[in-house]
Chains A and B, each alone.
Chain A
Amino acid sequence: MSASGTDPALPLEIHDLTVAYHKKPVLYGIDLEIPAGKLVGVVGPNGAGKSTLIKAIMGLLPASSGWVKVFGKPYRESCHRVGYVPQRESVDWDFPVSVMDVVLMGRYGRLRLAQRPTRHDREIARECLEKVRMLPFANRQIGNLSGGQQQRVFLARALAQESDLYLMDEPFVGVDAATETAIITLLRELQSRGKTLIVVHHDLSSVREYFDMLVLLNMRLVAAGPTREIFTQEILQATYGGRLTILSDVAQAIGEGG
């Protein structure tokens, strides 16, 4: 642990973070450091506070105690270096905007008040759509897309943010196999360019394959570290408690990876 707590090279540092919903704590005393260039999976049972952790990092939910530093500064001062992929169901897909409009929103953080996206912004948005192979859909209304296509649009929007740290909330939920492969390929490419990615994930069977670091969460931080060290039966049992159906999944996941 860095003693000063303000290491500017550290993408994310969390100290004693507690978050409550309606006065009921959902995250207790989280201490966490994420080094640069990692592809990190945030894993835990339903209600473990995975999304809450992501939102609390960005200040979307108020912390009851503790602090978060992003690249050594409070979030607000570093927000232009953070890209966010919210859960797909968090927005209304009947909204009257095109795919291009949504991706351009990723550029808004770089624009001044009342400033319109420039030609350069549109160029970048087009490149990002190309990367997720959604460029032919640029002028489609977003409601006419499949779940996987919608997720790719969200990913393209995050790419357009040109960030150093990406926070992604369940990007693999409800997508087809082709999209899942496309997303993980893209995440690895971002990682190879030195970006740090923190991804909420629920499918234990793919954890070992996808992530090189894990954060195991169940209201408290159960463990954080390299996947091969902490993705063990013992720690998963501590994370998921005595939930038998999940434990059999765990056994299978470990068996496959083993």
Chain B
Amino acid sequence: MSEAEVLRAIFSVAFLASVLRVTTPILLPALGGLISELAGVINIALEGIMLTAAFVGVVVSAYTQSPWLGLAAALLASALLALGLAFFHLELKADLILSGLALNLLASGGTVFALYSLTGDKGTSAALASRAMPALNLPFLEGVPILGPILNQHNVMVYIAFLMVGVIGLLLYRTRWGIHVRAVGANPEVAASVGLNVRALRYQALVLSGVLAGLGGVYMSMGYLQLFQRDMIAGRGFIALAAVFMGGRRPLGTMLAALLFGAADALANQLGALQIPPQWVQMIPYTATVSALAIYALSQQRVTTRHRPLMFPRTQTRKR
């Protein structure tokens, strides 16, 4: 092998490993978004829940010096926020999209306000000695060429994210609860008429989606980066929603879509070292998302006229 080839191999292995890293904070909220979408209550607040979890994780881990307590507190906060969203929508009849947006604003303003109150800094939590989640060394991958460097030594949250694809898939398609949730999303009136508790199932789906988004948020500030920055989620919660639709509202498809967005993101990071304006590169993931959204919508329009998620909220069928 020539040196150039070796270099290319290393480059691509490092690149594939980085795809897994940047996919994680899209995949986790995307799985959350998937559950909420299948239950018929799309969670627009994924972005804000991730941001809150990222913040709470950093602060609690800094004060307790335990990343695990940070994780637990972050997940608790995520569940509470999602519960709040569910309460406003299901009990107080608030518009789901607007109240989701309000929670995003609440998180964006609230985290900066709390950060400023705690540290006097409005930008980052650099003043806090926060802890990160550990990286995992899988002994059976040690010394394996190519696969080893790609798959080994990632943050524990990366493995959790990909494990969750299978777990959520089983939960949604192989358990009674999953079948009920999907029934409630497909047709709430029919689900209610056969005795399902629509409201309770939607509560549960929203809270679970919040916890998954929270895992993604914790990874952002305690793995991907090791501090909190204001508005550090940078639209990943919404890219995750795009991944749900592009993935055909199925767990495996959602994962593939998240990987695609992750690849665009990783590419942007790689190109960042080149002599082109960084703004061009930073546009890549977002342009990719809009294009993917358009292509997916186009293909859907050809294939079927059945339930259209998030599209015409009150006119989902197109009768001719």
Q: Do A and B come from one complex?
A: no
A interface residue numbers (CB < 8 A to B): none
